[in-house]
Amino acid sequence: MSKAKVKSRKDNLGRALQTGESQRSADGMYIYTYRDVYGNRRYTYSSDLMKLREKKKILLEDIRAGIDVYASKDCTLNDAFDRYMKNKYKLRNTTRANYEYMYDHFVRETFGKLKVGSIKYSDVQSFYLELLNDREIQINTLDTIHTILHPTFDMLVRDDLIRKNPADKVMADLKKRDGKNKGVRHALTLEQQRAFLGFVESSPEYYHWLTIFRFLLGTGCRIGEALGMRWKDINFKSEYVDVNHCLVYYYNRKTKITRFMITEPKTEKGTRLIPMLPEVRETLLEEYERQKRDGFCKDTVDGMSGFIFSNRFGNVMNLHAVNSAIGRIRENYNAIELVNAQKEQREPVILPYFSCHHLRHTFCTRLCETEMNIKVIQEIMGHASIETTLDIYAEVNYAKKKSSFENFAANVRIF
């Protein structure tokens, strides 16, 4: 017995509809019915038959590739990031806190609400440009944001929720367009460095900050390494500083409690011995004698005590207090310097915006100006990658070449 011929269905324009396609009589909307990778019935819609078939083609390709299309449409970037962080169980607490802070502060309430299946390269690029131009963040901050977004998208690719990483090459393209060193934390000049320390030394209001600033500018330590420094880490006889841990101010999102804690240095290269400059040795010896008279730091953090740097209450310092002090000193100094320069009819030496990390960068710059061995600089700074050292070295030497050419142009007539 022969099978009866199935009459093809047509739309209201007389066009034959394919398997799974239908047209709603009420409003003429075209519908394609399909089953996802789990066998669940799903639907996609379009007012145009050809556009519906374009959607259908992509859906079928995704289903054949094993991608969970429905999940990707429901999953936001916030969902993906939270899952990514949950699976990163080996992260140090400080790194985790930093990642979560950066994401919550810059991504969660805006870009993070987008569905991951809809995010394209141009969307990521536009978001990064918005952060740079509208919110005026530094390129270094954007690097940190990219450091957490890119692997989050990688996880989505591996989980078959998206087909490719939309953050691929975004940072590289931005840096290529704007120049490799755009946003580098520029160092203070030697004149600015001396003006800053001279002002602190001569100020009754800020003098108590002098030791920590001299230490930072004389060792190149990261601020957490410096704040965690104990007297037992200073070898006055052999004249070196032993960097073997950090003191950090850590916020726990679960307990909502902020506390000090001890962690390992930021990188494996971070554990190091830094030769002690004579000025640093003299400053620390003076500070030790003062504390013998006035009292040592009272705090114990994770079993460690005897910290060198403390506030007026005898407690360990935190990063935010040091950066706030720098801001106050800078504003006070600049206001006085502008008046003095006008009276003395000279150009003022103005201090730009800078933070604790700029002081580390300043030390590295001074070191690069005198030391030719890149490996020695890397070891002293504790840079994980020599590329970081080379970037600073190249910037310093470009400035030196530029200065040499300006001197050359002023003293030699070529034509």
User: Is residue 218 within 8 Å of residue 279, measured between CB atoms?
Assistant: yes
The reported pLDDT for the residue numbered 250 is: 75
Residue 184 — φ and ψ, nearest 5°?
Answer: -60, 140
Q: Is the whole model's pTM more than 0.75, yes or no?
A: no
Shared domain check, 62 and 82:
no
319 in the same domain as 170: no
CA distances from 192 to 350, 395, 398 (A): 7, 18, 19
73-77, 222-226, 402-406: lowest mean pLDDT where?
402-406
Residue 312, pLDDT above cutoff 70: yes
Residue 174 belongs to a domain: yes
The torsion defined by the Cα of 156, 123, 69 and 62, in degrees rounded to 10, comes to: -90
227-231, 262-266, 328-332: lowest mean pLDDT where? 262-266
Most confident of 6-15, 150-159, 399-408: 150-159
Residue 150: CATH number of its domain: 1.10.150.130
The tokens describing 87, both together, are: 């699976």
Based on the domain organization, do 349 and 201 belong to the same domain?
yes
What pLDDT is stored for residue 302 in this prediction?
92
42: helix, coil or strand?
strand
What's the rounded mean pLDDT across residues 217-245? 95
Q: Please identify, among 307, 334, 353, the residue that sits at the C-terminal boundary of a domain.
A: 353
Q: Establish if 407 belongs to a structural domain.
A: no
Per the structure, the count of domains in the chain is 3
**Tens digit of each residue's pLDDT (9 = 90 or more) over 121-178:** 999 999 999 888 878 787 778 888 999 999 999 999 998 888 899 999 999 888 776 5
Give the pLDDT of residue 71: 66
Residue 389 lies in a domain: no
Residues in the chain: 415
| C-alpha R_g of the chain | 30
Averaged pLDDT, 208-221 = 96
pLDDT at residue 60, rounded to an integer: 80
Q: Domain for residue 401, yes or no?
A: no
Residue 354 backbone zone (phi > 0: left; psi -120 to 50: alpha; other: beta): beta
C-beta of residue 17 within 8 angstroms of C-beta of residue 9: yes
| Within-domain flag for 326 | yes
State the Cα–Cα distance between residues 396 and 241, nearest whole angstrom: 25
Helix (H) or strand (E) holding 32: strand 30-35
94 in a structural domain: yes
Closest residue by Cα to residue 107 from 74, 82, 88: 82
Average pLDDT over residues 332-351: 93
Locate 57 and state its tokens.
């083609």
Q: Do residue 287 and residue 139 come from a single domain?
A: no
| Assigned token pair, 101 | 């802070």
pLDDT in tens, 57-80: 888 877 766 666 556 667 889 989
Does 224 share its domain with 333?
A: yes
**Same structural domain, 203 and 346:** yes
Q: Looking at the predicted structure, is the pLDDT value of residue 366 above 70?
A: yes
The arithmetic mean of pLDDT across residues 106-112, rounded, is 92
**pLDDT category, 37, cuts 50, 70, 90?**
low
Residues 377, 393: contact at Cβ < 8 Å? yes
For residue 88, the 8-state DSSP code is -
Among 14, 13, 57, CA closest to 32 = 57
Residue 316: other Cβ atoms inside 10 A: 21
Tell me, what amino acid is at 12?
N
Residue 285 has pLDDT above 70, yes or no: yes
Final residue in a domain of this structure, among 300, 321, 353: 353
Q: Establish if 211 belongs to a structural domain.
A: yes
Whether 23 has a pLDDT exceeding 90, the answer reads yes
Average pLDDT, the chain: 86
Contact criterion met (CB below 8 Å) for 45 and 29: yes
pLDDT of 406 = 66
Q: Does 204 lie in the same domain as 171? A: no
Whether 112 and 173 share a structural domain: yes
Q: Which of 330, 353, 376 is the last residue of a domain?
A: 353
Residue 253 and residue 349 in one domain = yes
Residue 252 has pLDDT above 60, yes or no: yes
Q: And the tokens for 2?
A: 């022969």
| One domain for residues 131 and 200 | no
Q: Are residues 47 and 100 in the same domain?
A: no
- The share of the chain scoring above pLDDT 70, in percent, equals 87
Question: Torsions phi, psi of 48, nearest 5?
Answer: -120, 130
More reliable by pLDDT, 130 or 232? 232
Q: pLDDT at residue 3 above 60?
A: no
Q: Helix, strand, or coil here: 273? A: strand
Which residue do the tokens 């992260």 mark? 91
Cβ burial, residue 403 (10 Å; 0-12/13-18/19+): exposed
Q: Which domain holds residue 45?
A: 21-66
In 10 A of CB 168, how many CB atoms? 15
Q: 354 and 326 in contact (C-beta within 8 Å)? A: yes
Instruction: Say which CATH number the domain at 316 has.
Output: 1.10.443
Q: Quick count: other Cβ atoms within 10 Å of Cβ 335?
A: 10
Average pLDDT over residues 35-57: 84
Is the same domain home to 213 and 343?
yes
- What does the pLDDT read at residue 120? 92
Residues 6+ apart with CB under 8 A from 314: 295, 296, 297, 298, 299
Is the pLDDT at 182 greater than 60? The verdict is no
370 belongs to a structural domain: no
